[in-house]
A and B are shown apart, each in its own frame.
Chain A
């Protein structure tokens, strides 16, 4: 899955030449054999490398503080979201929902690599959510909808329908 994700990311970053990736181990960790140096291993490492190659460093955060927040969410993505069980996903959605209550993007007001990778990582969950659940995690859904419409991000993933109006207002039934 992360291989598709990396090629989507390449396109989103405007990289013309697609790289070839392999995987290693049971968990199919992506590996990029770079031309001039050692192999790069791991989704976040490769993604960061691609961002630098595309000369879009702002996607890794502006200030030192922003950089740290971006790294934090990238780590959250690979440690918490990937390979998480069905019950835990509700906790993740709840976490994201309350965190995003006063934010447009994961790192505040600026679109970063964290948004892209979180969107890719969580898409398979959101696509299966019922209308009621999408409304329950309203802030998360708003962020998700925003990112899926962000220019050049969606690529291989099907769009998820998000209603503009709330239909479960009474929180009952």
Chain B
């Protein structure tokens, strides 16, 4: 209306247009008035309704919002897990605590999908002798993602409920209480987060991009896909630990705040430490360059490292065998115990099952270079593998040997850190190796130099200030056994095992040069 009045003040040629405008404005005004009247009417009706609710609702003790749980009482109530709602529980009256995943009211009944972690079950409130009209209405109006306590009868269903994990039963709700109310508007919808890539575009439905999901990570972590990813990740840690414990390894904790940046101060995080400064350790091993400013699909600035270091008897291949066996145990454990999780993730991000050989395939660097050259790649003998070439080699290896996991051994000495043991047969090469999953590096390792003299020589060859690594070199002066090891990135292992594209999907709260929250 205001716009019409100001326009009236304008004269001349614009007048005609203004009249049209004011006509439009009038119509608009009229419509709005109608709308407001309708709204008022509705509200009055609602108020009347709720009044009548209070008056003659026989079920008013069976629903509502109880006082906040402040540990006032210790109920004997047993809350059954959604996962356990199977036909064996049929015709039992049980309590469940779950989230409202979706709700759909239809006349005298309201269907809810109750979710608990990656499991969900259909529930139903219907007007009858247990539930009143008002109760059904209350149930239908509970905001999505609110947490509710529900008392319900488990009933078998004739037709499988395809949309739920518990397909053979549904819950007939007798009581429903809101334990924690969610806000009515969610920053993103869970269904949009789990929609397979590309599927949303076809039928015009929304998909949520990675950044928005990470901004609202608490909600994104509730999706079935995220739930499955982090269960599997926990499985990787568990399997890693169990396998190594069985092999007689000892778990150690190392300081993460160190006095000197191993890389001479470049590209590390500095922290102020009382009156001086300290650095964040990049790895329990020296020289891991993770504080680099890389924004890629596979780099984070903070990651979980699984490191192994072991003494061997005569040949560093003992170390390789020990590590590859550990990896194979992890792959087998995941395959055998986490099939549900793997399939859940596969629904959103389809990929081929992870393949590996036993014993693990070990190729030498020069064989790898030969395979690449045969595929038309031009590279020098002692040149490091570029990322595209790494991936291509992974493809060639998969085609030839049908494995997604292999070891590339005997890297050129020039591309490895100073503490890498040179190859006794060829000075150009070294006793070092990388391990690859689906063509991407997950582990870098080597036989380390355990001789202080040789270590000093190699450090000088690399122009490293001996003063800065004095304590490291000195530690080898009092007898050190030959040893080797390697560090694995937990997130990368999960990402590549599942065939995902971005390491942020497997990091619960990812940190990269552009992201410090949440």
Using a CB–CB distance below 8 Å, which chain A residues touch chain B? 130-132, 160-163, 165-168, 170, 172-173
Contact = CB atoms under 8 A, between A and B. Distances in A.
Interface in B391-420: 391-392, 395-396, 398-399
Interface string B429-454: 00000000011000000000000000
Most chain-A Cβ atoms within 10 A of its Cβ — which of B351, B399, B439? B399
B265 interface: no
Nearest to B395: A167
Given A131-B375, A160-B376, A161-B375, A172 B499 contact: yes
B56 interface: no
Interface residues of B, number: 17
Contact of B375 (A163, A166, A170, A172): A163
B395 A131 contact: yes
Contacts of A160: 376
B399 A170 contact: no
B352 interface: yes
Contacts of B352: 170, 172
Given A161-B376, A173-B499, A167 B399 contact: yes
Contacts of B439: 173
A172 B376 contact: no
A162 B399 CA distance: 15
Contacts of A168: 395
Given A160-B376, A165-B399, 16 more contacts: A130-B388, A131-B375, A131-B392, A132-B395, A161-B374, A161-B376, A162-B376, A166-B399, A167-B396, A168-B395, A170-B351, A170-B352, A172-B352, A172-B499, A173-B351, A173-B438
Contacts of A132: 392, 395
20 contacts: A130-B388, A131-B392, A131-B395, A132-B392, A132-B395, A163-B376, A167-B395, A167-B396, A167-B399, A170-B351, A170-B352, A172-B350, A172-B351, A172-B352, A172-B499, A173-B351, A173-B391, A173-B439, A173-B499, A173-B501
A131 B394 CA distance: 12
A161 B392 CA distance: 14
Interface string B368-395: 0000001110000000000010011001
A154 B503 CA distance: 45
Nearest to B501: A173
Nearest to B351: A172
A161 B388 CA distance: 17
A131 B391 CA distance: 11
Contacts of A165: 399
Interface in B312-363: 350-352
B374 A167 contact: no
A106 to B, nearest CB: 24
B38 to A, nearest CB: 53
A150 B294 CA distance: 46
Contacts of B399: 165-167
Nearest to B376: A161
B506 to A, nearest CB: 15
A167 B438 CA distance: 12
Contacts of B350: 172
Nearest to A165: B399
Contacts of B395: 131-132, 167-168
Nearest to A130: B388
Interface string B215-246: 00000000000000000000000000000000
Contacts of A130: 388, 392
B53 to A, nearest CB: 55
Contacts of B398: 167
Contacts of B499: 172-173
A129 to B, nearest CB: 9
Contacts of A162: 376
A168 B391 CA distance: 11
A172 B391 CA distance: 12
A160 B375 CA distance: 10
A165 B401 CA distance: 13
Contacts of A161: 374-376
A167 to B, nearest CB: 4
A131 B499 CA distance: 20
A130 B386 CA distance: 13
A161 B376 CA distance: 5
Nearest to B372: A131
Contacts of A167: 392, 395-396, 398-399
A85 to B, nearest CB: 23
Nearest to B388: A130
B438 A131 contact: no
A111 B77 CA distance: 84
A166 B374 CA distance: 14
A168 B388 CA distance: 14
Contacts of A173: 351, 391, 438-439, 499, 501
A51 B352 CA distance: 52
A167 B439 CA distance: 12
A54 to B, nearest CB: 33
A131 B376 contact: yes
